[in-house]
Amino acid sequence: MASSAVIKKSDAVVKKRTFHRSPFYQGWKRFKNHKLAVIGMVWVVLFLIAGIIGPYVAPYDYRSGDFLAINQGPSWQHIFGTDNVGHDMFSQILYSVRSALIIAFGATVVSFVIGIILGLWAGLRGGIADMIIMRAVDFMMTLPGFLFALILVILLGRGYTSLILAIGIPGWAGYARLIRSLVLGMRDGEMVEAARALGASQAHIARRYMLPNVIGSMGVALAFGIPGDLTQIAGLSIFGMGLQPPIPSFGNMIAQASDNILGFPWLLYFPAGIFALTLLAFLFVADGLQEAFSPKGGN
Amino acid sequence: MTVAKFVLKRIVQIIITLMLVITVSYIMMYYSPGGFMNSNIMATVLAPLQGQNPVLYHKIMEQFESRYGLNLPLWRQVLKYIWHELTFNFGNSMQNPSLKISDQLKQSLPISSLLALGSVLLSVIIGVPLGIIAALKRNTWIDYVVSSISLAGQAIPAFVLAVIMVLLFGVVFQGILPVTGWGTWKDVILPVICLAAGNIGVVARYMRGSLIETLRLDYIRTAKAKGVKYWPMVFKHGVKNSLTAMITVIGPQFAFTVMGTIWVEQIFAIPGLGQVMQSAFTSFDYPLAITSVFLLGSMIMVINLLVDIVYALIDPRVKL
């Protein structure tokens, strides 16, 4: 499996020499043909922009509720309506986008860093370290990460940093396994052997041959990781263990709205709709990236 | 390796994993700030008492700690929990000291199991045909529609679908299906659909890939050359062989569904394991929390073991 991937990837490198096209350029060309992925990309970019500038353009503060205007439907003052304490839902959503992005990206980075360290260690050292790490990976993979996240939330609390750690720490196993397999496939691969035979330095091999070949797979794994982490954050809130309530989050809004859904359904439309579309967009992008950059993705 | 030896080895593995899970989760809960006596419910009762009658307060705390073994050293507490859980002697919860955990679970566990198994079953019933259609109509609009729908089902988590369902059947189509509670067979339908949606996508995508790969194999070409008609070829030679590989997805899917169950139960107000877990975790009820983690873990691992056994039994190429 891994070795065939290497051979196919090495073909790509040969093409790069002959046609002066980087694998990224080729991947981008394939990605552009994937319409859903491009639409998803647009939404993701909008979401990122909303997360960055959201708190500055939000018409109302997330903390201050207008008690004279509770449970209102969408209107010109409150385009997404207001909730049961008079919070402006549009502002709530803008702040939620930021909190969701901070935690999802933070948690993905935490998982990825732990995964990369342990995966590299297992792949490069081999032997007993490899065995212990892979046992730990098996252990983590048997049980859902959400279970570990729940217990970690109890230990760490419900702030930003604790949630990043609680969701990030249990997620390392998948990345570690991927990176280990990439390293193993690469270390003994023909391409690296050939480069070594030609007298290339270790750093040159790593930069010129190893990195371009693993970066695609890792990008795809990361792209799939972010929507997964977004789901977990909201899931923790549904469970009553997400971000501490005054800070808005999609999970809290969805959980709250589902409590009085029969009276005020618009409280649900926007948070649940935007959240669902965002997850979908991230997944389309990840899917597009996979088709564009994974070894099997070529047309 | 014989089947018996394989099963024995796996059971030992499961027990070791469960011991690790109990140890890790207990140690984490032990070091967590706050505890049952500091949680919201108890604090309102005990905080005034601490000022008014310190002697009584300490007596109550001492009694509480000795009752749940909290005054023992940590390693003995861990060992005690491991022993009690593995012998299915769950003891009493902290929230309802008079109620045995096993009695509490007798009501909730079957509900969650029914939801999880039902949704896995439904996802196979719907996902497999969808996957077959997508594979046969590969790269046509049917394939794209099926792929997009299954991706959407995968992307949108069960709890978002659940609130959408509550909205649909609670507001728009009022009175067709109940949206809260538990009791009649009708209550099963909506949660199971929400839970199955994600799995349908996974099953359909996997089936599509598996069937496409199978149809490329040499023996299919041989069958074609021998003049086997199209549909018999697809079903008898293709689908039958790619179905066996499908069984391997069910294990991970079940784990995924079990986690979805505890979310969906919150939304539909179903008194299953999810509700038990939620009250246990939010009020630091250690015995109940550890027991629910233990049960979830063992459920998932036992299903995985069963899947592996069934896979080996029906596919002679697989060796245990």
pLDDT for the residue A20: 53
B163 touching A (Cβ < 8 Å)? yes
B256 touching A (Cβ < 8 Å)? yes
pLDDT for the residue A3: 46
Amino acid type, B183 = G
- Mutation to test the A interface, candidates B21, B40, B156, B295, most A Cβ within 10 Å: B156
Partner-chain residue, chosen from B33, B156, B300, that has the shortest CB–CB distance to A280? B156
CA B149 to chain A, closest CA, distance in angstroms equals 11
Interchain contact, A255 vs B164, CB within 8 Å = no
DSSP B141-182: HHHHHHHHHHHHHHHS-HHHHHHHHHHIIIIITTTSS--S--
User: Alpha-carbon distance B201 to B150, whole Å?
Assistant: 4
Mean pLDDT score, A138-163: 85
Residues 281-310 of B with CB under 8 A from A: 281-282, 284, 289, 293, 296-297, 300-301, 304
Interchain contact, A258 vs B163, CB within 8 Å = yes
Interchain contact, B166 vs A261, CB within 8 Å = yes
Per residue, what are the HEC states of B107-137? HHHHHHHHHHHHHHHHHHHHHHHHHHHHHHC
User: Alpha-carbon distance A273 to B65, whole Å?
Assistant: 47
Using a CB-CB cut-off of 8 Å, the residues of chain B touching A276 are 155-156, 160, 164
- Mutation to test the B interface, candidates A1, A39, A135, A154, most B Cβ within 10 Å: A154
Q: Is A67 left (phi over 0), alpha (psi -120 to 50) or beta?
A: alpha
Does the pLDDT of residue B274 top 80, yes or no?
Answer: yes
What chain B holds in terms of domains, given with CATH numbers, is: 3-100 (no CATH), 102-314 (1.10.3720.10)
Q: State the pLDDT confidence band at A1, using cuts at 50, 70 and 90.
A: very low
Give me the residues paired with residue B92 across strands: B100
B266 touching A (Cβ < 8 Å)? yes
Token pair for A290 = 């996979």
Residue pLDDT, tens place only, B160-201: 888 888 888 877 777 777 777 777 777 888 889 888 888 888
CA B19 to chain A, closest CA, distance in angstroms equals 11
Phi, psi of B230 (to 5 degrees): -60, -55
Using a CB-CB cut-off of 8 Å, the residues of chain B touching A279 are 155-157, 160
Rounded to two decimals, the pTM is 0.81
Q: Percent of chain A having pLDDT more than 90?
A: 5
Cα separation of the two ends of chain A:
19
Which residue is it, tokens 């940093």? Answer: A161
CA A236 to chain B, closest CA, distance in angstroms equals 9
Which CATH fold would you assign to the domain A89-299?
Answer: MetI-like fold (1.10.3720)
Does the pLDDT of residue A299 top 50, yes or no?
Answer: no
Interchain contact, A240 vs B282, CB within 8 Å = yes
Partner-chain residue, chosen from A144, A275, A279, that has the shortest CB–CB distance to B255? A144
Interchain contact, A151 vs B25, CB within 8 Å = yes
Residue pLDDT, tens place only, B289-300: 888 888 888 888
Give me the residues paired with residue A82 across strands: A88
Residue pLDDT, tens place only, B11-41: 998 898 888 888 888 888 888 777 666 666 6
Which helix (H) or strand (E) segment holds residue A231: the answer is helix A211-238
Residue pLDDT, tens place only, B242-256: 887 788 888 778 888
Interchain contact, B281 vs A150, CB within 8 Å = yes
B255 touching A (Cβ < 8 Å)? yes
CA A162 to chain B, closest CA, distance in angstroms equals 12
Nearest C-alpha in A relative to B254: A144
ipTM summary value: 0.80
Residue pLDDT, tens place only, A11-32: 555 554 545 566 677 777 777 7
CA distances from A184 to A179, A203, A214, B298 (A): 8, 17, 11, 33
Nearest C-alpha in B relative to A281: B155
